[in-house]
Amino acid sequence: MPTTPPRAPRAPIDALADIAGLEVRPREVLARHSTFRIGGPAEWFALVKTAAALGRLLAVVRELDVPFLILGLGSNILFPDDGLPGVVARLGGDFGRLEIAGTRVTAGAALSLPQVARNLAARGLVGLEALAGFPSTVGGAVYMNAGCYGTEIRDVLASAALVDPDGRQRRVTADELEPGYRETNLRDTGTIVVEAVFELRRGDAAAALARIDELNRKRWQSLPAGVANAGSIFRNPPGDYAGRLVDACGLKGTARGAARISARHGNVIVNEGGARAGDVLALMLEMRRAVRERFAVELVPEVVLAGELGHRWRAAA
């Protein structure tokens, strides 16, 4: 009796193309999506425009066992020179909504945190001014408990809506995220922040906008201007500053290829044009080694080392 041969599984790109509300681009160069301007192509790059599309995308990723990375503004990530396999996704569309009800603000995860902070300050809603220079999406800021000038996201966060890798949706309070210095309990879980609810307070709009401008001037005075970078490379160790330790080791200005430790800030690596991820990683390893040997302090990356870069960093420990 003849049998029907088993149907070959669909290619991931075919499965992704079937999802409404998902825009998929193959071989998208990731350097375009990173403030470092470094990185090869993503196998598939997906712009997710609806909650339904996100649910379907996660189901396909699980079903086909495809590597998956969710991306914010790309301001604190280093992509490998060879790119990444699987799907790199960014939220957009419905995830860019902003709703204001009194002093309570609901912000979609795709929104730019600096733009949200300035928008709200102009309306006399204050509490986010210190974070108006922090280059992150709302979702990324919640995920890592972004902080700057004495303010952290947890100070104004009432709750966050999450989607787990299995597609389960849930809402948590700020305390349930167990926020710490530049991290929450979402780290390395694959859980996606899709919405944040902030509880702000009424204040003077002109004064809030003036404070934003003052803090942004202070921020940019300490950072290299006009050159690609990802901000702070390492977290500050307890009671000290990573930049001070690197500077004390005499490493400011050290270069590998077109990557250089900024002469202006010891905790920033700049791409002077054409730098490769391997160049940046080599500098990071040298910074870690020098600080460890001189101060017995272990520097911990603040920048996300995507794909094989993370494996190389850990293997060199």
The tokens describing 51, both together, are 């909650």
State whether CATH 3.40.50.2300 applies to domain 97-208: no
In the chain, where the domains are located = 12-91, 97-208, 225-315
Q: Which residues pair with 299 in a beta bridge?
A: none
| pLDDT tens profile 248-306 | 999 999 999 999 999 999 999 999 999 999 999 999 999 999 999 999 999 999 999 99
Q: Residue 16 above 80 pLDDT?
A: yes
Checking if the pLDDT of 10 tops 60, the result is: no
302 is catalytic: yes
- At 131-151, the pLDDT tens digits run 999 899 999 999 999 998 889
pTM, 2 dp: 0.91
Looking at domain 225-315, which CATH architecture does it have? Alpha-Beta Complex (3.90)
Which two tokens mark 304? 């996300």
d(CA 91, CA 245): 37
- Which one, of 256, 222, 233, lies nearest residue 305 by Cα? 233
Q: At a CB cut-off of 8 Å and minimum separation 6, what does 299 contact? A: 234, 235, 237, 242, 245, 287, 288, 291, 292
Q: pLDDT tens digit string along 158-176?
A: 999 999 999 999 999 999 9
Residue 265, SS3 per DSSP: coil
Q: Is 43 a catalytic residue?
A: no
Residue 232 appears among annotated catalytic residues: yes
Q: How far, in Å, are 8, 142, 176 from residue 168 at the CA level? A: 29, 18, 17
- Which position has the higher pLDDT, 18 or 103? 103
Structure tokens at 273: 């044009």
**Mean pLDDT for the chain?**
94
Which tens digit of pLDDT belongs to each residue from 197-215?
999 999 999 999 999 999 9
| For the chain, percent of residues with pLDDT exceeding 90 | 88
pLDDT at 222: 77
Instruction: Supply φ then ψ for residue 98, to 5 degrees.
Output: -130, 125
CA–CA gap between residue 123 and residue 245 (Å, rounded) = 41
User: Which amino acid belongs to residue 71?
Assistant: L
Domains 97-208 and 225-315 share a fold: no
Report which residue type is found at 5.
P
Q: Which residue in the list 112, 136, 159, 232 is annotated as catalytic? A: 232
Report which DSSP code applies to 8: P
Q: Which of 10, 123, 182, 219 is catalytic?
A: 182
Model confidence at 5: pLDDT above 70: no
Domain 12-91 sits in CATH at 3.30.43.10
